[in-house]
Chains A and B, each alone.
Chain A
Amino acid sequence: MRIGLAALSPARRTTLMRSDAVQRLLAFAALIAIILIFSLLSPNFLQFDNVVGILIATAVNGILALGVTFVIISGSIDLSIGTVMTLSSVMTAVFITEWHAPVPVGILAGVSTGALAGIVNGTLVAKLKIPSFIATLGMLNVAKGLALVVSGLKPIYFNDTPDFNRAAMGSVIGGVIPGLDIPNVVLVLFGCALVASLILTTTVLGRFTFALGSNEEAARLSGVNVVGWKIAVFTLAGIFSGIAGVLIGARLNSAQPSLGQGYELDAIAAAVIGGTSLSGGEGSILGTVIGAFIISTLTNGLRILSVPQEWQTVVTGGIVILAVYLDIVRRRQQQ
Chain B
Amino acid sequence: MSSRSMRVFVALGAAMALLVGACGGQPATTGGASASTSAKLFIPMISKGFQHQFWQAVRQGAEKAAAQYNVTITFEGPENESQVDKQIEMLQAAINKKPNALCFAALDSKAAIPLLQKLKDQNIPVIGFDSGVDSDIPVATAATDNIAAAAAAADKMASLIGMSGDVAIVAHDQTSRTGIDRVKGFTDQIKSKYPNIKIVSTQYGGGDQLKSTDITKAILQANPNLKGVFGANEGSAIGVLNGVKESGKSGKVVVIGYDSGQQQMDAIRSGEEAGAITQDPIGIGFKSVEAAWKVLNKQSVPKNIDTGFHWYDKTNIDAPDIAALLYK
Residues of A within 8 A of B79 (CB): 258
Residues of A within 8 A of B266 (CB): 159
- A to B CB contacts below 8 Å, 11 in the list: A44-B224, A154-B53, A155-B53, A155-B262, A254-B209, A259-B210, A300-B214, A303-B215, A306-B219, A306-B222, A309-B174
The answer to whether A259 touches B209 (Cβ under 8 A) is yes
Residues of B within 8 A of A169 (CB): 246
Alpha-carbon distance between A21 and B217 when the two chains are bound, in angstroms: 34
What 6 A-B pairs have minimum CB-CB distances, sorted nearest first?
A303-B218, A304-B222, A309-B204, A50-B221, A306-B201, A258-B51
Min distance, Cβ B82 to any Cβ of chain A, angstroms = 11
The answer to whether B263 touches A253 (Cβ under 8 A) is yes
**Known contacts A44-B224, A253-B263; A300/B238 CB under 8 A:** no
**Residue from A129, A148, A253 within 8 A of B51 (CB atoms):** A148
Q: Does A57 contact B (CB under 8 A)?
A: yes
* A248-271 to B contact mask, C-beta < 8 Å, 1/0: 100111101111000000000000
Alpha-carbon distance between A252 and B53 when the two chains are bound, in angstroms: 17
The answer to whether B242 touches A303 (Cβ under 8 A) is no
The answer to whether B213 touches A300 (Cβ under 8 A) is no
The SS class assigned to the B binding surface is: helix
Residues of B within 8 A of A304 (CB): 218-219, 221-222
Q: Does B306 contact A (CB under 8 A)?
A: no
Residues of A within 8 A of B56 (CB): 153-154
Residues of A within 8 A of B201 (CB): 306
- By a beta-carbon cutoff of 8 Å, the part of chain B in contact with chain A is 5, 8, 50-53, 56, 79, 174, 200-201, 203-204, 208-210, 213-215, 217-219, 221-224, 238, 242, 246-247, 261-263, 266
The answer to whether A303 touches B209 (Cβ under 8 A) is no
Residues of A within 8 A of B213 (CB): 251-252
**Residue from B8, B200, B210, B221 within 8 A of A251 (CB atoms):** B210
The answer to whether B221 touches A155 (Cβ under 8 A) is no
Alpha-carbon distance between A99 and B224 when the two chains are bound, in angstroms: 42
The answer to whether A129 touches B5 (Cβ under 8 A) is yes
The answer to whether B210 touches A60 (Cβ under 8 A) is yes
**Known contacts A153-B56, A157-B262, A252-B238; A128/B8 CB under 8 A:** yes
Residues of A within 8 A of B262 (CB): 155, 157, 159
